[in-house]
Amino acid sequence: MAVLLAWEWVCAQGRLLRSSPLAFYRMLGARRDWVAAKVAYLQEESGKWKVLFATIKSPYNFLRMMGLSPQMAIGVLFVGSAAGGGVVVNETVFSERSFSRGDAGVYTAPADIPTSYSDGDNTLRVDLGATEVGEITIENVTVGTAFAGSTLPSGQTSVIVVGGTADSTGFTGTYLEVGHLKVNRWRCTTFDMSEVEAHTLNIRYNASDGQSIGPVAGTPRARAIGGGNRADSMVTSGGTYDQIVIGAPNSGVNGKVDVLKLSNIHTKGGLCKLSRIKAGTIDIEFMETGAGDGFSTKDFVISSSAIYKNFTNTDNVEVSVSPP
C-alpha cells in the first residue's frame, strides 16, 4: 500500500512538472523554505540551550551577568570556603580571577592570571621584571579608604605606589623603566614624585591644596621600551582596591613597560607615590590633590630629586581642596 501511494505521488509530481513547470518550481521552493525554517529554528533553540547550560556551569559568569562586581562575585563564591584567611597560589588559584576582569591579587607581568592572592587582601599588585611589556592600563578605579569597608594593608601609608625598590641589605635597588608614563585625573589626599628621571616632564592643569613643584634640570635620555616580540598588554577598567602597587621587586632587575597609563583613579586614606622611575616622557595632568590643611602644607609635591631635560609647567593652581 505504501509503495502504491509513493508511486502515485511521484506520478502526480511528474504530471505537475509537465503541465506547469513554474507551479512545480514554486511547490519545490515552498517545501525548501519549510525545511530551512525548521533547521534555522532548531539551530536557534540549540544555541539558547548551550548558553543556559554554560551559564549554569559557571557560577562566576552568572553572578557577573546579574550585575555583581568581580570582587563581590568572588566574595559570594568563597563565603564559608576552606580558603578563608589563607593564601592560594599558582595552580590552585581560582581560574576565573584575572587582571583584565579587575580582580585583586599579585600579577607577574604580563600574566593575566594572578600568581597569588589572599581573600583577606584586596591589593592589586603588578610585578615587572626582565620581560618587556607593551602597555599596562589601569583606569576608572577606586582605591584606599574611599569605599565602604576598605582599609590599607597593615603597616602601609600609601594608597598608590608606582616605581622601583631602594637598596637594602641583600637587595640591589631597582627602577621602573617606562617609555611613556601617563598619570591623569587622579584624586589624592597627598601626592609625591621623587627619585625620577624623565627626558620630557609635563606637569599640567593640576589643582591642589598647597603645591611644591621643584624638579631640577639634567640630562636624562629619551627612552622607549622595545624588545622585539615583547609581551602582550595588560588592561583593566573598573574595580575597588585597598591599594595599587606597580613595581620591580626582583633584586637588580629593572621593570620595563613602554606605556604605563593610570587614569581616572579616586583615592583616599594615604599617599599617592611615584618614585625610582626612569622615563622617556611623564605626563601628570588634571589631578586634584588636597587634605584640606591649607596652602602652607604642600600636598602636591614634585621634589628636587625629579630630574628632567625638557619641562612644561602649565596652569597648575592652588585651590582649597578637602580630603576625598
* Residue 193 CB-half CA count within 13 A: 26
User: For 275-284, what is the mean pLDDT?
Assistant: 98
Q: Is the per-residue pLDDT at 26 higher than 80?
A: no
**For residues 207 and 145, what is the distance between their CA atoms, to the nearest angstrom?**
21
User: Taking the complete model, does pTM exceed 0.75, yes or no?
Assistant: no
When pLDDT is averaged across residues 70-82 and rounded to a whole number, the result is 51
CA atoms of 314 and 300, how far apart (whole Å):
15
Name the residue with higher pLDDT: 101 or 190: 190
Element (H, E) at 217: strand 216-217
Q: Which of 67-76, 135-144, 169-178, 310-319 has the lowest mean pLDDT?
A: 67-76
Spatial contact of 134 and 232, defined as CB atoms under 8 Å apart: yes
Nearest to 195 by CA among 117, 300, 285, 273: 273
**Which residues neighbour 108 within 8 Å (Cβ) at sequence distance 6 or greater?**
115, 127, 129
Is the CB of residue 207 less than 8 Å from the CB of residue 289? Answer: yes
* CA proximity to 210, closest of 296, 148, 140: 296
Torsion sign over Cα 20, 26, 30, 31: positive
If you average pLDDT over every residue of the chain, what do you get?
84
The domain segmentation of the chain, as residue ranges, is: 2-55, 128-318
Residue 64 has pLDDT above 80, yes or no: no
- What CA–CA distance (Å, rounded) separates 323 from 241? 18
Instruction: State residue 33's pLDDT score.
Output: 79
72 class by beta-carbon count within 10 Å (0-12 exposed, 13-18 middle, 19+ buried): middle
